[in-house]
Structure 1
Amino acid sequence: MPHIEVLTTAGRVRGYVQGDVTAFLGIPYGADTRDHRFRPPLPVQKWEGVRDATSFGPACPQVVFTDEEDAAALRWLEHPVGGSPLEGGAVGEDCLRVNVWAPANHSESLPVLVWLHGGGFTNGSGNEGWFNGDRLAAAEDVVVVTVTHRLGVFGFLSLCDDSGEPITGSAKPGMLDIVLALEWVHDNIAAFGGDPSRVTIAGHSGGSGKVAALLAMPAAEGLFTRAIMQSGPVSRFPTAADSRVTTERVLEALGQPTLAELEQMSADDLLQGQAAAFAGLDGSFLLRMDSIPGFSPSLDDDLPAQPFDRDHLARLQLMIGFTAHEMASLLAGSSIFSRGMGRDQVIATLEHFAPGHSEAQYDAMALEAPTDPPHLLFVRILGAGGFAQETNKIMHAVVAGGGTVWHYRFDQTTDVLDGLLGACHGLEIPYVFGTTDRSPITGHTQGRETLSREMMHAWASFARDGVPEVRDDWVNWTPDSPSAYRFVIPADT
């Protein structure tokens, strides 16, 4: 396999050429965080010679929440072998890494898509196989960057020193990592063929929440031009006091260690404390998607305002959307959700979540989606109360502030697990990145490559000039024209 070298601000890196794409994997954008835990990131030290960048770097240490058979099977479907930290890849605190994919032969500066992984603020990495950027870069002449950063107890533990004074930056070093990664992109991406003046930040689920946080962080201003929020309409972050409550739960689970003891504690022990602190978290957060439970960045000098309360909305170009059956994969393996649900069972279960109007909700949704079986109507209703409602609030805020919104809905179902999942949370990702043939969760539906090509082009053209190009008309969302572009395999395919 041919190799290629690029000079970065920290030194030369050696990637590889595969077909029409160059790949540089595991490039450090910040120093090893082990020796300055809970602090803002430090720049990476310069190196002599050429650094190998042909394999993924470590993922941040993290808790794997469940070993349930159904959930494990679903994780395999969502995260196929090829780069997820949950499949045996390297894990460690030297995790501030970026991966870069770029067209091998380019004669002009190309738009850049910086992808922020999902998993809330506690799980995942930039290495996961379903969003490797090689296919998207080759097909659409864009440079794709994925980011790995600190998570959970390592990235969002709001600490005080021994005198009780808050430690600067400790509430969100994970977000400050991402800002440092964007600074790396700004300073280095031209060497890989990218245009630092056309950087789009994009993310799914928790990654969408990271996009929202960046919108309100002064340190990130000027480091990106557009934003894409997929299936994560996060608009609110906790106060410093609320973040401190989360920290106290973890410290209590760890036996109230001192700061010095925390800094020397093993990563495994820290993760055990994190797991114990959140062992009793229930699923009530599924009904309110404007924030993420547990670890999350909080309001302070680094994040002084809620993301959609600021005057920067006049300049914001935003693509935002969700899938038709978001909750299906989130509830897979739960005793309350199965393919065998009938109308009466759905209504009774909805009464548990939001009593009073369940029968009317069901009947209205059955008219809107007449081909959905009862179990998919159930998760569609839950999604309408969470994802759709909160997305709508964000779109109203952006348009009222003078920004531009492109709204979509992903309706293409998967046939895996006998139709249990519908168009579930995360299913659109392999379509966006052209990895449907690598991702078991997409199923074997005819025409999925056609839909994937459309979505790749839409995301890339939005990154290129702010207008997503599709087969049919896609107009800006406004309160007077509140339509969503539906991504689904064409009937004639």
Structure 2
Amino acid sequence: MSAVIETTYGRVEGSREHGTYAFKGLPFAAPPIGARRWMPPVPPERWDGVRPATAFSPACPQESLTVSAADLFAVEGPRDEDCLYLNVWSPSTDDARRPVMVWIHGGGYNMGSASQPIFDGGQLARRGDVVVVTINYRLGPLGFMKLDEVTDGAIPATGNEGLLDIVAALEWVRDNIAAFGGDQDNVTVFGESAGGWAVGALLSMPRAAGLFHKAIAQSGVGHPGLDLDHANHLARLFADRIGLKASNAAELRAAPPEKILAAAPSLFKSFFEPDPSNSDRYLRHVIDGDILPMPIVDAVDAGAAASIPLIVGTTRDEVAKIFVVSAFTEGEPPFEKVRRLVHRDIDVRQLASIYGRARRDRFGRDSEVDIAAAIATDTVRIPSLRLLDAQRRHQPNSYGYLFNWTSPGGDAAYGSPHGIDIGFVFGTYDLAEDYAAEWGQGPAAAALSHAVMDAWAAFARTGNPSTPNLGEWPRYGDARRTMMIGERTYVADAPYEDERRAWEAYSNTDLAKPLFRIPGRETATA
């Protein structure tokens, strides 16, 4: 069974899959190629006839994942700069005006795709009676490289073109989603890791105002943006490596994507540098004073998203045990690995003393590895809590969670790692044998996934994630009430509070400072 829908650009034909309609590979912007490389997105051209919408588009150009612990998130299939497409799953194409949930994939702004099997929106759409949309956006140097200064304006890239792609996708949703059974006046953005970064950025972006109405930031820190000096420094590194000068802007636009990627600062490559101080040389969105007027937490604290109900949460162990125990830098002492994640202002040994005492008081493990792993996790959790603290002052419907389902992978050695929540949110935790090996399977996993999907859909519908399955989810509030989601689901007041307080000595600015000295900027940390 198929369905033909009229969009603002032409008719599209999707298919019926497992109880939902699926429309794949819908263009929301013109191909960002040739003269459009590094430019803001523009609408796609109209087409005649009926466009098939049964196959995913190529993923955006990106580096290949090299960390075996995260192989489940490897992107398969073709890649092409013509990648600004989205996918829609809907229970019906009637006029029921269902809540719309727009997913922004993670991958450090360097990798990922809307078409990864783990993000299949069919089960969430069917169970929650919602319309699920997954979107691509330009990645790495093609989406987040600030080139205006280094090219003397010949390429006016702000470093936020990837975010502008997300805004363009939300504009497409506003203009078209009613025809797919969705409500353009009830849109929730949700994303994990870099997708959570993007959710935070959208909260602070004037250009995104009115395009969404609720937000869920999963394991996405609130302050990953680059300041102008940092962004310009990374652009100069890129220019030096690729060997092209500002006068060769046309040549730069014509360079193969592979050459662009090879010369660009990289999130994943940076962690392999022998000097930990180089691990902050990777691309993120830019606090440029225009698209992003100020750091995310500062903007939210000032009321930029006062009308937006918000859920913010992390996993219990985030990147911690994967990062500290095994990945990236084998043989390096645990606290040296942590130095790759925190800035030089931060006294890791002092934090370790406080964490060790807090863990012993809870009868928790207090080895050097466990403490280092907990500090590494809090490089994600603490900024996320600060985002939530900033929003709750304006918006009472602010909710916090800690996802603590233990992965069976590695004989449970990884605890509740970064990304463990995704398979339960989409109901895809046991989609394949290797998924089930990392996320789990069986009645308990199924019950958890149903409870999480119900809560996320309830929040999208009403702004309150309480459900019979998950239970009453109280507002975060002054007590920092937090839903603990895992083998046992319950509400805790201010979990790991001693550890949170240990970071109060550091401002948001401290947390966002680069590890290395930027040439010509005397205030940078040595």
- TM-score of the superposition, structure 1-length normalised? 0.87
- Tell me how far apart the structure 1 counterparts of residues 353 and 78 of structure 2 sit (CA, whole Å): 49
Kept in 1: contact 2:93–2:180 (CA 8 A): no
* 1:75 and 2:65 aligned: no
Q: Which range moved further: 394-403 or 216-225?
A: 394-403
Tell me how far 1:401 sits from its aligned partner: 3.3
Kept in 1: contact 2:215–2:309 (CA 8 A): yes
Of all paired residues, the percent bearing the same amino acid is 31
- Tell me how far apart the structure 1 counterparts of residues 309 and 275 of structure 2 sit (CA, whole Å): 28
Partner of 1:321: 313
Kept in 1: contact 2:94–2:180 (CA 8 A): no
Partner of 1:478: 477
* 1:267 and 2:269 aligned: no
* 1:362 and 2:350 aligned: no
- Matched to 2:139, the amino acid is L
- Tell me how far apart the structure 1 counterparts of residues 473 and 189 of structure 2 sit (CA, whole Å): 21
Which ranges of structure 2 fall in alignment gaps of 5 or more residues?
343-347, 491-526
- Tell me how far apart the structure 2 counterparts of residues 372 and 131 of structure 1 sit (CA, whole Å): 36
Partner of 1:461: 458
What whole-Å deviation, never above 9, does each CA across 1:127-151 have from its counterpart, x for those lacking one?
Answer: 1111110000011100000010111
Q: 1:27 to 1:417 in 2, by over 3 A?
A: same
Q: How does 1:119-198 map to 2 (within 5 A)?
A: 119-160=107-148, 164-165=152-153, 167-198=155-186
Q: Which range moved further: 468-477 or 187-196?
A: 468-477
Q: 1:368 to 1:55 in 2, by over 3 A?
A: farther
- Matched to 1:483, the amino acid is R
Tell me how far 1:34 sits from its aligned partner: 1.0
* 1:383 and 2:383 aligned: no
SS of 1:227's equivalent in the other structure is strand
Q: 1:351 to 1:286 in 2, by over 3 A?
A: closer
- Tell me how far apart the structure 1 counterparts of residues 30 and 444 of structure 2 sit (CA, whole Å): 45
1:299 alignment partner, one of 267, 274, 288: 288
- TM-score of the superposition, structure 2-length normalised? 0.82
SS of 2:132's equivalent in the other structure is strand
* 1:17 and 2:10 aligned: no
Kept in 2: contact 1:329–1:421 (CA 8 A): yes
- Tell me how far apart the structure 1 counterparts of residues 339 and 208 of structure 2 sit (CA, whole Å): 43
- Tell me how far apart the structure 2 counterparts of residues 98 and 28 of structure 1 sit (CA, whole Å): 6
- Tell me how far apart the structure 1 counterparts of residues 339 and 157 of structure 2 sit (CA, whole Å): 43
Tell me how far 1:488 sits from its aligned partner: 1.1
What whole-Å deviation, never above 9, does each CA across 1:414-443 have from its counterpart, x for those lacking one?
Answer: 111211211000000010111111123203
* 1:487 and 2:480 aligned: no
Partner of 1:400: 393
Q: 1:165 to 1:347 in 2, by over 3 A?
A: closer
SS of 1:356's equivalent in the other structure is helix
Q: How does 1:187-266 map to 2 (within 5 A)?
A: 187-235=175-223, 237-257=225-245, 258-266=248-256
Partner of 1:49: 49
Q: CA RMSD in A?
A: 3.2
- Tell me how far apart the structure 2 counterparts of residues 277 and 256 of structure 1 sit (CA, whole Å): 22
Q: 1:373 to 1:418 in 2, by over 3 A?
A: farther
Kept in 2: contact 1:398–1:404 (CA 8 A): no
SS of 2:306's equivalent in the other structure is helix
Q: 1:38 to 1:351 in 2, by over 3 A?
A: closer
- Tell me how far apart the structure 1 counterparts of residues 52 and 170 of structure 2 sit (CA, whole Å): 21
Kept in 2: contact 1:369–1:377 (CA 8 A): no
What whole-Å deviation, never above 9, does each CA across 1:299-336 have from its counterpart, x for those lacking one?
Answer: 23222222332332321211000000102334463377
Tell me how far 1:472 sits from its aligned partner: 2.6
Tell me how far 1:217 sits from its aligned partner: 1.7
Kept in 2: contact 1:13–1:53 (CA 8 A): yes
Q: 1:46 to 1:418 in 2, by over 3 A?
A: same
Q: 1:376 to 1:424 in 2, by over 3 A?
A: farther
* 1:421 and 2:441 aligned: no
Tell me how far 1:238 sits from its aligned partner: 2.1
Which ranges of structure 1 fall in alignment gaps of 5 or more residues?
none
Kept in 2: contact 1:40–1:170 (CA 8 A): no
SS of 1:33's equivalent in the other structure is coil
- Tell me how far apart the structure 1 counterparts of residues 307 and 250 of structure 2 sit (CA, whole Å): 44
- Tell me how far apart the structure 2 counterparts of residues 238 and 150 of structure 1 sit (CA, whole Å): 17
Kept in 1: contact 2:287–2:295 (CA 8 A): no
- Tell me how far apart the structure 1 counterparts of residues 26 and 325 of structure 2 sit (CA, whole Å): 36
- Tell me how far apart the structure 1 counterparts of residues 171 and 401 of structure 2 sit (CA, whole Å): 30
- Tell me how far apart the structure 1 counterparts of residues 336 and 383 of structure 2 sit (CA, whole Å): 25
- Tell me how far apart the structure 2 counterparts of residues 75 and 277 of structure 1 sit (CA, whole Å): 14
- Tell me how far apart the structure 1 counterparts of residues 26 and 195 of structure 2 sit (CA, whole Å): 20
- Tell me how far apart the structure 1 counterparts of residues 335 and 236 of structure 2 sit (CA, whole Å): 39
Tell me how far 1:196 sits from its aligned partner: 0.3
Q: 1:163 to 1:360 in 2, by over 3 A?
A: closer
Kept in 2: contact 1:21–1:104 (CA 8 A): yes
Kept in 2: contact 1:63–1:275 (CA 8 A): no
- Matched to 1:299, the amino acid is D
Kept in 2: contact 1:99–1:126 (CA 8 A): yes
Kept in 2: contact 1:347–1:362 (CA 8 A): no
Tell me how far 1:276 sits from its aligned partner: 7.8
Kept in 2: contact 1:20–1:105 (CA 8 A): no
- Tell me how far apart the structure 2 counterparts of residues 413 and 461 of structure 1 sit (CA, whole Å): 25
Q: Which range moved further: 145-154 or 371-380?
A: 371-380
- Tell me how far apart the structure 1 counterparts of residues 274 and 419 of structure 2 sit (CA, whole Å): 20
Q: 1:359 to 1:119 in 2, by over 3 A?
A: same
- Tell me how far apart the structure 1 counterparts of residues 234 and 120 of structure 2 sit (CA, whole Å): 33
Q: Which range moved further: 135-144 or 393-402?
A: 393-402
Q: 1:469 to 1:50 in 2, by over 3 A?
A: same
Q: 1:126 to 1:14 in 2, by over 3 A?
A: same
Q: Which range moved further: 464-473 or 142-151?
A: 464-473
